[in-house]
């Protein structure tokens, strides 16, 4: 039962990521200008008449204070240049007009995030009452809680900075690390005795590292699209940041080849791990969706699918790396 609960928690983390992607493509990220409440309310308004007349100025002022705190934090950890750029960008203080659909999409996104947080906390409580590997399970559960809290705080900074691109990239990387961490937790609650060759373990680990880098590249590409799409045609967009687009496509091709090699290796060595074949299928599907996105002006419906396939692929590799022991025979 506990193992099944941890699997459900992993699904909840994936749901949070998908909800965030939908918020992104609908440009609803600023639907709630404050955090954790939405327009200072636990249940957001449904009409602009429910807000003060000067609500845009009010929330812009609150954002300015949060930005000062955030830039102070960046300066303290050695990111002074990033802090200066954020402080100098006055467009971050712009407060968009109220839109009921954007507000409620962002609000639902936060509710899903809060529900996932509850699941993560309950998973930690299970560790407190276990006997086997208690210390390690408590450490892992507490670690995920801390990572979740940091992700929630960082999410508030995404809102405070009016979705600064690199801040959003960090947000995505933390989400990937949460998937990895939860899969590690699952591995310590399962009784799997399946072993795999050492070579496969190493190949999967290297693939995991490169795949995380590809997720970062993909997020950067998406940021460029967000920034330039209103001002440039698709061809101009690619030309302006050709090296980044080329890097993303080249690594995507390399990962497709890698997935075919990994799947073939498992097939001919008769290694029956569903994660390997699911990874290969997801990578091929992701490449196809990426091609459609590139050739057909980024259809909104496919963007969350592209992200989901990427995160499931990342999860499959994570599972191979952390769940199976090396065959020493």
Same domain, 137 and 249: no
Between CA 77 and CA 125 the distance in angstroms is 33
Q: What tokens were used for 3? A: 């193992």
Tell which of 191, 211, 227 closes a domain.
191
Same domain, 186 and 277: no
| Interior/surface letters 146-159, b for 16+ CB within 10 angstroms, e for the rest | ebbeebbebbebbb
Q: What is the structure's pLDDT at 73?
A: 86
Tell which of 163, 191, 219 closes a domain.
191
Domain span at 95: 1-191
Q: What is the structure's pLDDT at 141?
A: 93
- For the ranges 133-137, 154-158, 248-252, 311-315, the lowest mean pLDDT is seen at 154-158
Same domain, 182 and 231: no
Same domain, 138 and 227: no
Same domain, 185 and 234: no
Q: What is the structure's pLDDT at 237?
A: 52
Residue 313: which of 173, 220, 211 has the closest Cα? 211
Number of Cβ atoms within 10 Å of the Cβ of 275: 19
Give how many domains the chain has, as a whole number. Answer: 2
Same domain, 41 and 72: yes
Same domain, 112 and 216: no
Same domain, 184 and 206: no
Between CA 51 and CA 147 the distance in angstroms is 34
Residue 298 has φ and ψ, to the nearest 5°, of 55, 60
pTM for this prediction? 0.86
Residue 103: which of 17, 37, 156, 160 has the closest Cα? 37
Same domain, 25 and 164: yes
Q: At residue 70, does pLDDT exceed 90?
A: no
The winner for highest mean pLDDT among 64-68, 139-143, 199-203, 241-245 is: 139-143
Confidence of residue 184 (pLDDT cuts 50, 70, 90): very high
Same domain, 203 and 185: no
Q: At residue 158, does pLDDT exceed 80?
A: no
Q: What tokens were used for 150? A: 């940091």
Between CA 238 and CA 228 the distance in angstroms is 10
Tell which of 160, 191, 222 closes a domain.
191
Same domain, 126 and 8: yes
Contact between 310 and 286 (Cβ < 8 Å): yes
Contact between 204 and 163 (Cβ < 8 Å): no
Q: At residue 232, does pLDDT exceed 70?
A: no
Contact between 189 and 141 (Cβ < 8 Å): no
Same domain, 23 and 172: yes
Assign residue 133 a region: left if phi > 0, alpha if psi is -120 to 50, beta otherwise? left
Q: What is the structure's pLDDT at 230?
A: 53
Mean pLDDT along residues 15-20:
92
């Amino acid at each position: 039962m506990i193992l099944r609960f941890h699997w459900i928690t992993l699904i909840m983390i994936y749901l949070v990521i998908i909800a965030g992607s939908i918020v992104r493509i609908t440009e609803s990220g600023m639907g709630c200008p404050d955090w954790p409440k939405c327009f200072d309310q636990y249940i957001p308004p449904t009409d602009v008449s429910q807000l003060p007349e000067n609500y845009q100025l009010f929330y812009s002022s609150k954002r300015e204070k949060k930005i000062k705190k955030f830039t102070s934090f960046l300066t303290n950890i050695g990111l002074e240049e990033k802090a200066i750029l954020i402080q100098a960008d006055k467009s971050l203080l712009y407060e968009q007009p109220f839109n009921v659909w954007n507000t409620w999409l962002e609000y639902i996104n936060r509710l899903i995030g809060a529900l996932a947080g509850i699941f993560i906390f309950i998973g930690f409580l299970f560790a407190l009452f276990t006997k086997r590997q208690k210390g390690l399970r408590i450490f892992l559960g507490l670690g995920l809680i801390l990572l979740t809290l940091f992700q929630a705080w960082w999410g508030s900074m995404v809102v405070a900075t009016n979705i600064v691109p690199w801040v959003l990239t960090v947000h995505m990387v933390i989400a990937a690390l949460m998937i990895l961490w939860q899969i590690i937790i699952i591995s310590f609650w399962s009784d799997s005795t399946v072993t795999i060759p050492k070579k496969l373990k190493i190949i999967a680990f290297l693939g995991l590292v490169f795949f995380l880098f590809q997720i970062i590249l993909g997020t950067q590409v998406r940021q460029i699209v967000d920034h330039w799409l209103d001002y440039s045609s698709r061809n101009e967009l690619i030309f302006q940041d050709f090296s980044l687009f080329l890097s993303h496509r080249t690594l995507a091709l390399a990962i497709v080849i890698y997935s075919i090699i990994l799947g073939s290796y498992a097939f001919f060595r008769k290694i029956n791990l569903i994660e390997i074949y699911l990874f290969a299928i997801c990578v091929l599907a992701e490449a196809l969706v990426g091609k459609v996105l590139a050739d057909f002006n980024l259809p909104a419906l496919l963007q969350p699918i592209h992200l989901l396939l990427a995160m499931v692929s990342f999860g499959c590799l994570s599972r191979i790396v952390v769940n199976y022991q090396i065959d020493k025979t």
